[in-house]
Amino acid sequence: MRFKLYIEYEGTRYSGWQMQKNGISIQGKLYEAAEKIFKGERIEIYGSGRTDAGVHALEQIAHLDVNTMLAPEIIKMKLNDELPSDINILEVEKASLKFHARYDAKCRIYLYQISRRRTSFGKPFVWWIKDKLSFDKMLTASKCFIGMHNFISFADEDDAEKSTKVLIEDIQMKEEGDLILIRIIGSHFLWKQVRRMIGVLVEVGRGNLTSKEIKYFLEHNSPTPARYTAPPSGLFLEKVIYSGEKLNKNLSSIIKIKSELQTTDN
């Protein structure tokens, strides 16, 4: 049987989603939990895509293949009983055997949080930038990324990727208290692509780069964006969209972890 898993996690102490020989991964922890529940059964778990070390997920999607008579709500309960507190199963649904968490995904949505102030509570979830940033310049420059582009300058080499062309459907930005929120919607993303896009936008905000230079990076293979790779702490996989699902483009609806960050200093 196949089940669709909706998963949230804090990625701070993990090497990323994908199982690795020398690292603790989200996928690996899911396998460990599933093996305790479905003893002796063959188990397969596939995610919608990889997230880098330290990156979080508000809603990662995976599918679980296992022979079981357990109902979805019981699987959810049992998995959460076995998983560490920084990984949580939000929902479990029965899925068609034709459903594939990665290949059926229509687009992925990432959220990045930049904090304009030092924070005691939200440090693992933001990139605190001391320098003054021009929000307007960043917003204007972000439009350069929209459309189909070759993002080879924004990605590390990855043998699993056959092409470095990615369709960016939209980029939304909003100032929310002490936060700058950046939401990037794309067909898929290359290794470190989002973090380098964010890093370049921050350099625009600092006054060190311009929209013209972003266009150059998209037209030529340049090593420059790698120097500006944003830290993983502020990055969240917000949502994965599948056929028949609607994309909520209201940026205010995604502010789910703002509580401590939105408080004012005493």
> What element of type H or E holds 213?
helix 211-219
What's residue 265's pLDDT? Answer: 42
Q: State yes or no: pLDDT of 126 exceeds 70.
A: yes
The mean pLDDT value for 106-130 works out to 91
What's residue 245's pLDDT? Answer: 84
The domain spans of the chain are 2-95, 106-254
Q: State yes or no: pLDDT of 16 exceeds 90.
A: yes
Confidence of residue 119 (pLDDT cuts 50, 70, 90): confident
The yes-or-no answer to whether 2-95 and 106-254 have a common fold is yes
Residue range 106-254 in CATH 3.30.70.660: yes
Q: State yes or no: pLDDT of 85 exceeds 80.
A: yes
Question: Which active-site residues does the annotation give?
Answer: 52
Taking only the tens place, the pLDDT of each residue in 157-167 is 765 667 899 99
Distant-in-sequence, close-in-space partners of 196: CB < 8 Å, separation ≥ 6 = 153, 154, 155, 225, 226, 228, 229, 230
What's residue 100's pLDDT? Answer: 97
What's residue 254's pLDDT? Answer: 45
Q: The domain at 2-95 falls in which architecture?
A: 2-Layer Sandwich (3.30)
Taking only the tens place, the pLDDT of each residue in 147-203 is 999 999 999 876 566 789 999 999 999 998 889 999 999 999 999 999 999 999 999
Q: State yes or no: pLDDT of 73 exceeds 90.
A: yes
Written as six digits, the tokens of 118 are 């030092």
pTM of the predicted structure, to 2 decimals: 0.90
By CB atoms closer than 10 A (0-12, 13-18, 19+), residue 252 is: exposed
Q: What are phi and psi of 200, to 5 degrees?
A: -65, -40
